[in-house]
Amino acid sequence: MSIFEIDLAPVAQPRAARRGEPEPVSGAVDAMSPLRAERAALRERIVAGASEAVRRQHAQGKRTARERLELLLDPGSFTEIDMYRRQAAGARSGASRPHTDGVVAGSGTVHGRRVFVYAQDFTILGGSLGAAHAAKIHKVMDLAIATGAPLIGLNDSGGARIQEGVTALHGYGGIFRRNVQASGVVPQISVVMGPCAGGAAYSPALTDFTFMVRDTAKMYLTGPDVVEAVSGERVSHADLGGAQVHAERSGVATGVYDDEESCLEDVRYLVSLLPANNLDPAPRAACPAPDPDADVRPALAEIVPVAPNKPYDMRAVIAELVDDADFFELHEDWASNVVCALARIGGETVGVVGNQPMVLAGVLDRQASQKAARFVRFCDAFNISLVTLVDVPGFLPGAAQEHAGIIRHGAQLLYAYCEATVPRIQVIVRKAYGGAYIVMDSRSIGADLSLAWPTNEIAVMGAEGAVNVIHRRELAAARDPERLRAELAAEYTADLMHPYYAAERGLVDDVIDPVDTRSAVAAGLAMLRDKRTPPPQRKHGNVPL
3-state secondary structure of 42: helix
- Catalytic option among 174, 251, 405, 435: 435
Active site residue 524: no
| Exposure string over 362-378, b if 16+ CB within 10 A, otherwise e | bbbbbbbbbbbbbbbbb
How far is the C-alpha of 435 from the C-alpha of 385, rounded, in Å?
A: 23
**394: how many CB neighbours lie within 10 A of its CB?**
20
Find, among 284, 267, 285, the residue nearest to 150 by Cα: 267
**Active-site entry in 108, 126, 194, 198:** 198
Residues with Cβ < 8 Å from 142, sequence gap 6 or more? Answer: 178
- 465 as an active site residue: the answer is no
Active site residue 432: no
Cα–Cα dist 299/332, whole Å: 23
CA distance 105 to 80: 6
In whole angstroms, what is the distance from residue 129 CA to residue 526 CA? 48
Q: Where are the beta strands (DSSP E) in 298-384?
A: 327-330, 338-345, 348-355
- Where are the strands (E) in 198-302, listed by range? 209-213, 218-220, 255-257
Catalytic residue of the set 132, 436, 459, 503: 436
Q: Which entry of 171, 194, 199, 394 is annotated as an active-site residue? A: 199
16 annotated active-site: no
- 351, β-bridge pairs: 342, 386
141: nearest Cα among 169, 180, 113, 167: 180
Which residue, 139, 52, 61, 151, is CA-closest to 101?
A: 139
CA angle, 408 then 410 then 414, to 5°: 110
Which residues form the catalytic set?
198-199, 435-436
